Amino acid sequence: MTDPFEISSLEHDDKRYIWHPFTQMKDWLARKPIIIAEGFGSYLKDVEGNVYLDGVSSLWVTVHGHRRKEIDQAIIAQIGQISHSTMLGLSNVPAIRLARRLVQIAPAGLTRVFYSDSGSTAVEIALKMAFQYWQQCPDPRPRKNRFISFKNAAYHGDTIGSVSVGGIDLFHATYRPLLFPTFQVEAPYCYRCFKGLSHPRCEMACIEDLEATLGEHHEEVAGLIIEPLVQAAAGMLVAPPGYLSRVRDLCSKYDVLMIADEVAVGFGRTGRMFACEHEDVHPDLMTVAKGITGGYLPLAATLVTERIHNAFLGDVDEKKTFYHGHTYTGNPLACAAANANLDVFENDRTLETLQVKIDRLRASLQRFSDLEHVGDVRQCGFMVGIELVHDGASRTAYPTVENVGVKVILQAREMGLIIRPLGDVIVIMPPLSVSDEELDRIIDIVYESVQRVTG
């Protein structure tokens, strides 16, 4: 436990100097902050010695738990070699080894790796690559310069390009004057179907909006971007089975590049290494980040096909180079952590052992249907969203002013669990290494917290 005087000083300095992300600072300044000092396994410890289960993997990144020995040691060993060297005109050993491994485990056809340092930058790179590809491919089509994304559901990051293909008004509407125009189509949201239909009797009618848009505008569309299977930040919206493969088929039919944003859903979160594997989908570009280093260091990558890569080859006077890069692109420390992360996946047979936990989680979630104000429970692998509603029969949402989602997660904190809401959707996404007992405790706390706040 940290000295009480130092705790008071830390709290003061936090509120005096830090602007927290996705946080209403007026509320933050009025509340006692939790200041994390340590992590171990599935747990976090604050400066006062309180211990919490990490129910959202420290924002969806921690894969094998905190202070995993193998990843710790890999980073320390790499520090003994070199911590950073630019990839502009040079290369480094961990980045080369990681690129080979990513290509080996990625959906077939993705053969080249471009590194960056966050999900937003990986998406930004994918958009720029897709745009530039059509300008200089063997059969150039410069009219193909726009993108398709999903309204009320798409979240691909916070840089201007990624916000332009975003579709969550709460996050993105303020910045609309800064953004480039896109074609937006309705996302699959079975609980609140925009067509008023029910799955599976609907026969996936939600795909019709996308097909109509592609049919009318495909000559203008460079690419389509989608989070495979789960629109995560939109509230864990799980697409109906077969939707993703239909998206792939339509992109192929209309000659539009498919960008799979696997930043949130990759590295085991859906039960496979990558979500695209569930429907044997092979995207043209794929972005990864979050779990790539096991939750240790910032790293991201954009993977592309040879077809796309080769369109950027040419003599210097042709100016086909991809003029994009970051100072810490391919950082050796981060790449060493990522290689160790993949080692743990292999040695622990993480994806195999995860399947039993996914079934256990699915069974434990069934009791939430007994709660009057739980409208929908959505699960895909180890990704869960519990949507709270004011009235279950009419599916009426709570008034924003009631801040029900925040009240639930604050109640959970009092009981020893760290989670975060997406509006009034309670998100559960623990480390893949969580034990059965820890998983049961997480669900117990969430259930009781929802019950206390909404009951």
- Per residue in 350-366, pLDDT (tens digit) is 999 999 999 999 999 99
CA distance 381 to 148: 27
For residues 225 and 277, what is the distance between their CA atoms, to the nearest angstrom? 17
Is the pLDDT score of 23 beyond 80?
A: yes
Q: Which SS3 state, helix, strand or coil, does residue 384 take?
A: strand
Mention every residue, 6+ apart, whose C-beta is less than 8 A from residue 106: 274, 286, 303
- The SS3 assignment for 263 reads coil
User: What stretches of 330-372 show up as alpha helix (H) in DSSP?
Assistant: 332-347, 350-365
34-64+349-454 and 72-347 have identical folds: no
pTM for the structure as a whole = 0.96
SS3 of the chain: helix, strand, coil, percent, to 5: 45, 20, 40
CA-based nearest residue to 264, from 274, 254, 255: 274
Which strand (E) or helix (H) includes residue 69? helix 69-79
For residues 59 and 263, the answer to whether their CB atoms sit within 8 Å is: no
Least Cα distance to 351 among 288, 417, 424, 269 occurs for: 269
Question: Which residues touch 91 (CB under 8 Å, ≥6 apart)?
Answer: 330
**Pairwise CA distance, residues 314 & 168, whole Å:** 39
pLDDT at 4: 84
**Per-residue model confidence as pLDDT tens digits over 221-245:** 999 999 999 999 999 999 999 999 9
pLDDT grade for 440, boundaries at 50, 70 and 90: very high
pLDDT-based confidence at residue 203 (cuts at 50, 70, 90) = confident
Q: d(Cα 94, Cα 179) in Å, to the nearest integer?
A: 36
119 has pLDDT over 90: yes
Contact assessment for residue 2 and residue 48, using Cβ atoms and an 8 Å cutoff: yes
Q: Which residue matches tokens 């996936």?
A: 204
CA distance 442 to 422: 18
Q: Give the mean pLDDT of 275-289.
A: 98
- Residue 455 pLDDT class (50, 70, 90 cuts): confident
Residue 1: predicted pLDDT: 62
**In the CATH hierarchy, which fold is given to the domain comprising 72-347?**
Aspartate Aminotransferase; domain 2 (3.40.640)
Summarize pLDDT for 81-114 with one digit per residue, the tens: 999 999 999 999 999 999 999 999 999 999 999 9
- Exposure letters 218-255 (e unless 16+ CB within 10 A, then b): beebbbbbbbbbbbbbbbbbbbbeebbebbbebbeebe
Stretch 358-383: mean pLDDT, rounded? 97
Q: How confident is the model at residue 152 (pLDDT cuts 50, 70, 90)?
A: confident
Task: Give 2's pLDDT tier (boundaries 50, 70, 90).
Answer: confident
Where are the domains positioned within the chain?
Answer: 34-64+349-454, 72-347
The CATH H-level superfamily of 34-64+349-454 is: Aspartate Aminotransferase, domain 1 (3.90.1150.10)
Neighbour tally for 262: CB within 10 Å: 31
Averaged pLDDT score across all residues of the chain? 96
Question: Residue 153's pLDDT is what?
Answer: 86
Percentage of the chain surpassing pLDDT 70?
Answer: 100
pLDDT digits (tens, 9 = 90+) for 40-77: 999 999 999 999 999 999 999 999 999 999 999 999 99
Question: Over the stretch 153-181, which tens digit does the pLDDT of each residue have?
Answer: 899 999 999 999 999 988 999 999 999 99
Q: Cβ distance 248 to 283 under 8 Å?
A: yes
442 and 415 Cβ atoms separated by less than 8 Å? no
Pairing of strands 146-151, 221-226: parallel
Contact residues for 181 (Cβ-Cβ < 8 A; gap 6+): 146, 164
